[in-house]
Structure 1
Amino acid sequence: MPLLEVDDLHVSFGTPDGVVRAVRGVSFSVDRGRTLGIVGESGSGKSVATQTIVGLTRGARVSGRATLDGENLLGADPDTLRRIRGAKIGMIFQDPLSSLHPYYKVGWQIVEMIRAHERGTSKAAARQRAVELLDAVGIPSPRTRIDNYPHEFSGGMRQRVMIAMAMALNPSVLVADEPTTALDVTVQAQVLDVMRDVQREFGTAIILITHDLGVVADMADEVVVMYGGQVMERAERRELFYRNHHPYTEGLLNSLPTSGGRGKLTPIAGTPPSMITPPPGCPFEPRCVYAFDKCSEKPPPVEIPAPGVHTSSCHLPVERADRPRLEAS
């Protein structure tokens, strides 16, 4: 049984312009010690799906099921979710400067989080644990830096502080939402190394949300590709990179720079669909070079291009040999 399992998750928001169907029937799972990468363009529903699991999408209409160790998260009351957040599911958000309170020292914030979940822990014991956590994630001179404010840290160091805070109570799942955005490649590599070390030491399951396929290639064991609030393709990492099936996945990979900088980038033409009035068929149909009549008429089935966990929501046949003919037609 997977550690965290999400089944047929739907999330929508009421707006003056209509109902935004941000997540539409998303399913995925992750086991202990494994990393699940969730990729897709901005607005594809990656962050909304994971934030809904821990009760951070207030005012949303939610249906489906999400279980952690057999406990249903979507049906949990606010007190239960507060107990789960931090203790069982740690969160690393995209912008650590806005996630950390600017008026309080980083050590105070880690200490308060520890004591909020462990009422019997003294301030001295919590502070000592905070120092150890900062040292574990590579903060130099942690006994001194613990009394610094967030603005006194660089972007990479603030992200390390967020990792330390997320891992303070040794949660079983770590959700990292764009943890390397706006970091240079050297700092990015250091942050990913810290996450790998944490996973090796504690057996933590990681859900890594990103639009950077290079990060996915480096970190993920399994990958979910999202578009228009839905899962387009799901596969093991190597399977997805070398034997992908869905045209959207193909488009994402074709838009990457080639080794050595040679060749022309091939962007995906068009823009993502409106989630207020999503297309009746495949959400990617207006941008797909292989689209045919059926694609705009009804949602595609979830085909299985390969044995195992590889699934793809597409009308195209599993065999790729006919694609050039479809593209030319």
Structure 2
Amino acid sequence: MALLEVDDLHVSFDTPDGLVQAVRGLTFSVERGKTLAIVGESGSGKSVSTQTITKLTRGARVSGRAIFEGEDLLTASPDHLRRVRGAKIGMIFQDPLSSLHPYYRVGWQIVEMIRAHDHSTSRRTARKRAAELLGLVGIPRPAERLDDYPHQFSGGMRQRVMIAMAMALNPVLLIADEPTTALDVTVQAQVLGVMRDLQEDFGTAIILITHDLGVVAEMSDDVVVMYAGTAMEQASRRDIFYRHHHPYTEGLLRSLPAHGGGKGRLIPIAGSPPSLINLPSGCPFAPRCPYAWDKCFRETPPLDEVFDEPGHRSACWLPHDWEGRQACEPRTETIDREETA
């Protein structure tokens, strides 16, 4: 049994404009010691889905199951969730400056988090553990930096503090919500290296939420590609990059600067994601898809196995065999392509 199994997750929010269907029928699993990347454009439901698992989406309408170590987190009591969050499931949020309290020293915040889950730990012992954690994530002079405030750390260092806090009690699952978005490339590589080292040392499973396919290539074992609140494709990292099936996955990869050997224009996905209040009929990607045909606009494709590969699933009406998919040609051009020398 997987460490975490999410089954048919639906999350929606009531707004003055109508019901926002943020997540629609999402299913995935995370194995112990593995990294699952969830990718997609902004607004695709990546963050909402993982926050809902730990009941951080107040006011949402939620259905489905999220089985963690044999217990459904969506129906768990508040006391059980308090024992799980932080202790067994650590979370790294996108903006460390807003996640850390500006009025309290970094060391105090880590110490309080440790003692909130382990009342038997003395403040002295917790402070020693906090210094060890800061050293573990590569912060120099950790014992001294415990007495600094968040604003005295750089963006990369604040993110390392968040990683240290998330790993304080050696959780079995770490949810990292775009942990490197606001960081430059050098610091991003350092932060990812810290996460990878911690995973190797403690066997922690990671859910990595990102829109950066370079990070996916470096960190993930498996990938879920989300669009308009639902999964478009699920596969191993290698299959996503080299044997992908869904046109949306293809579009994400073609929009990378490295596509075509770095020679030619970038190829963006035409159009914009649909409104989650007024979703189109059929496949949600059909209005932007260069392969779309009549059936795509009428019927929603199920997330089915493709290429006869267990674990590789795609929600698309295109042929499910490799040869048939390779033979497909776009029916429309999404942009005007210019030949470059």
After superposition, residues 293-312 of structure 1 pair within 5 angstroms as 293-306=294-307, 307-312=309-314
Q: Distance in 1 between matches of 2:282 and 2:81?
A: 36
Paired residue secondary structure (2:74): coil
Q: Distance in 2 between matches of 1:208 and 1:243?
A: 21
Q: CA deviation at 1:327?
A: 4.5
1:241 corresponds to = 241
Greater shift in the superposed pair: 128-137 or 251-260: 251-260
CA contact (8 A) 2:290 2:330 kept: no
Tell me which amino acid in the other structure corresponds to 2:313: T
Tell me which amino acid in the other structure corresponds to 2:43: G
Q: Distance in 1 between matches of 2:330 and 2:108?
A: 62
2:278 corresponds to = 277
Tell me which amino acid in the other structure corresponds to 2:278: T
Q: Distance in 1 between matches of 2:326 and 2:25?
A: 30
Q: Distance in 2 between matches of 1:293 and 1:126?
A: 62
Tell me which amino acid in the other structure corresponds to 2:197: D
Greater shift in the superposed pair: 316-325 or 205-214: 316-325
2:17 is equivalent to residue 17 of structure 1: yes
Q: Distance in 2 between matches of 1:200 and 1:84?
A: 22
Q: CA deviation at 1:323?
A: 1.6
1:219 corresponds to = 219
1:3 corresponds to = 3
Tell me which amino acid in the other structure corresponds to 2:224: V
Tell me which amino acid in the other structure corresponds to 1:286: P
- Paired positions, count: 328
1:68-126 CA distance string (max 9 Å, x none): 11111000122211111101100000000000000000100000000000011100000
Q: Distance in 2 between matches of 1:286 and 1:226?
A: 16
1:89 corresponds to = 89
Counterpart pick for 2:318 among 312, 316, 319 = 316
Paired residue secondary structure (1:183): coil
Q: Distance in 2 between matches of 1:152 and 1:317?
A: 55
Q: Distance in 1 between matches of 2:145 and 2:263?
A: 44
Paired residue secondary structure (1:128): helix
Q: CA deviation at 1:304?
A: 1.7
2:39 corresponds to = 39
2:264 corresponds to = 263
Q: Distance in 1 between matches of 2:82 and 2:281?
A: 38
What is the TM-score with the length of structure 2 in the denominator?
0.94
After superposition, residues 1-329 of structure 1 pair within 5 angstroms as 1-258=1-258, 261-306=262-307, 307-318=309-320, 319-324=324-329, 326-327=331-332
1:280-306 CA distance string (max 9 Å, x none): 211101100000111111110223223
Q: Distance in 1 between matches of 2:239 and 2:165?
A: 34
Q: Distance in 2 between matches of 1:186 and 1:158?
A: 15
RMSD, aligned α-carbons: 1.1
Q: Distance in 1 between matches of 2:197 and 2:183?
A: 19
What is the TM-score with the length of structure 1 in the denominator?
0.98
Q: CA deviation at 1:279?
A: 1.3
Greater shift in the superposed pair: 166-175 or 73-82: 73-82
Paired residue secondary structure (1:74): helix
Q: Distance in 2 between matches of 1:50 and 1:325?
A: 34
Paired residue secondary structure (1:9): strand
Tell me which amino acid in the other structure corresponds to 2:243: R
**Overall identity of the aligned pairs, in %:** 71
Tell me which amino acid in the other structure corresponds to 1:162: M
